[in-house]
């Protein structure tokens, strides 16, 4: 059986699949050549992340496909329903990268709260000539402890983010489409654990109460956060989007920063990937990263092993 990991796979995943008798190819094939490559090389399993798209045209052109795998959570780059109609298994790894994304959210939060995104730009340029000026400019940082984090979307990643927030001494409030009570267990290095119960609230309530807002919703047709939602927020709010491009109205965010409603924001995902709007890239109130939420060695190892396990299980049925 031949597997094409078109957007890459960890060595741990390759080893597990190879040991089970699969041949794994990690050639990165251009989207336009994908169907031809699959057919020419008798590929039965194609694995992707967010870059490669497996839509109806590829599925129809590739009768050898048995499994389409997504290394990550969202599957908006795969025509899942159509693939299943054609008898193709579609798998993903919803839990493997949750903690990595949550840590990136807090990397941005800590950086924004102390203006590190600006200081890291300015110190190499002015650190030797304007040290006191920079010190004064960035001397009004804020602490996260005691503040309220509002989480929009309380699935695996939202809950992982909440755990870090609770560990940092923050108050956590959350909105989820299906209202529910969630028990979160914080496990510590020495075996101790603490349990918290989070009762989800209405979206409006979360937006009004939160000092910081982190988005963890799947791709959708309409904005989850647009101008009307931003208007409900506290003045000086900080917003983080490490979910999906298109769930946050970037123009509304840009305008809200300019008029002072939003103090600062962080974006790991963008509406126009891989070419974000220049006004975002140049905005000094934004902390930016290039869609790297799941891009840690640990997460990629978990993703590779989880994909390998699912593929082996399917072919052993």
Interacting residues of 180 by C-beta distance below 8 A, sequence separation 6+: 154, 200
Catalytic residue among 49, 291, 302, 306: 291
Q: Tens of pLDDT along the chain (317 residues)?
A: 999 999 999 999 999 999 999 999 999 999 999 999 999 999 999 999 988 999 999 999 999 999 999 998 889 899 999 999 999 999 999 889 999 999 999 999 999 999 999 999 999 999 999 999 999 999 999 999 999 999 999 999 999 999 999 999 999 999 999 878 999 999 999 999 999 999 999 999 999 999 999 999 998 889 999 999 999 999 999 999 999 999 999 999 999 999 999 999 999 999 999 999 999 999 999 999 999 999 999 999 999 999 999 999 999 98
Distances (CA, A) of 10 to 104, 304, 313, 316: 20, 5, 19, 22
Whether 273 is catalytic is yes
**Selection from 225, 240, 228, 235 nearest residue 293 by Cα:** 240
Cα 122 to chain centroid distance, Å, stands at 28
CATH superfamily of the 2-96+297-315 domain: NAD(P)-binding Rossmann-like Domain (3.40.50.720)
Q: Do domains 2-96+297-315 and 98-288 have the same CATH topology?
A: yes
Tell me what pLDDT residue 73 has.
Answer: 85
Tell me what pLDDT residue 170 has.
Answer: 98
Strands 193-199 and 181-187: what pairing?
Answer: antiparallel
Whether 291 is catalytic is yes
pTM of the model as a whole: 0.91
CB half-sphere exposure, 315, CA atoms < 13 A: 17
**Selection from 141, 159, 145 nearest residue 105 by Cα:** 159
Whether 244 is catalytic is yes
Catalytic residue among 49, 99, 108, 244: 244
Domain residue extents for the chain: 2-96+297-315, 98-288
Protein fold of 98-288: Rossmann fold (3.40.50)
């Amino acid at each position: 059986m031949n597997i094409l990991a078109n957007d890459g796979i960890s060595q741990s995943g390759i080893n597990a699949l190879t040991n089970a008798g699969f041949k794994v190819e990690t050639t990165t094939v251009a989207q336009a050549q994908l169907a031809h490559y699959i057919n020419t090389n008798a590929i039965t399993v194609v694995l992707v992340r967010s870059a490669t798209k497996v839509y109806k045209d590829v599925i129809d052109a590739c009768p050898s496909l048995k499994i389409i795998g997504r290394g990550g959570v969202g599957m908006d780059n795969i025509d899942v329903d159509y693939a299943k109609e054609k008898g193709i298994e579609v798998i993903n790894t919803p839990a493997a990268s949750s903690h990595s994304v949550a840590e990136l959210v807090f990397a941005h939060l800590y950086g924004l709260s102390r203006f590190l995104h600006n200081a890291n730009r300015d110190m190499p340029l002015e650190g030797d000539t304007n040290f006191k000026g920079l010190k004064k400019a960035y001397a009004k940082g804020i602490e996260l402890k005691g503040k309220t984090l509002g989480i929009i979307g309380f699935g695996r990643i939202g809950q992982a983010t909440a755990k870090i927030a609770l560990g940092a001494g923050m108050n956590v409030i959350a909105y989820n489409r299906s209202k529910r009570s969630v028990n979160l267990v914080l496990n510590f290095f020495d075996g101790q654990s603490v349990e918290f119960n989070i009762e989800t609230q209405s979206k409006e309530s979360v937006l009004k109460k939160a000092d910081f807002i982190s988005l963890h919703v799947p791709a959708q047709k309409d904005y989850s956060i647009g101008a009307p939602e931003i208007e409900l927020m506290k003045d000086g709010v900080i917003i983080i989007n490490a979910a999906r491009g298109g769930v946050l109205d970037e123009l509304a965010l840009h305008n809200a920063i300019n008029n002072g409603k939003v103090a600062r924001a962080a974006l790991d995902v963008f509406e126009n990937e891989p070419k974000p709007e220049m006004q975002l890239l140049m905005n000094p109130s934004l902390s930016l990263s290039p869609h790297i939420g799941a891009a840690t060695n640990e997460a990629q190892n978990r993703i590779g092993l989880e994909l390998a396990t699912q593929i082996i299980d399917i072919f052993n049925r």
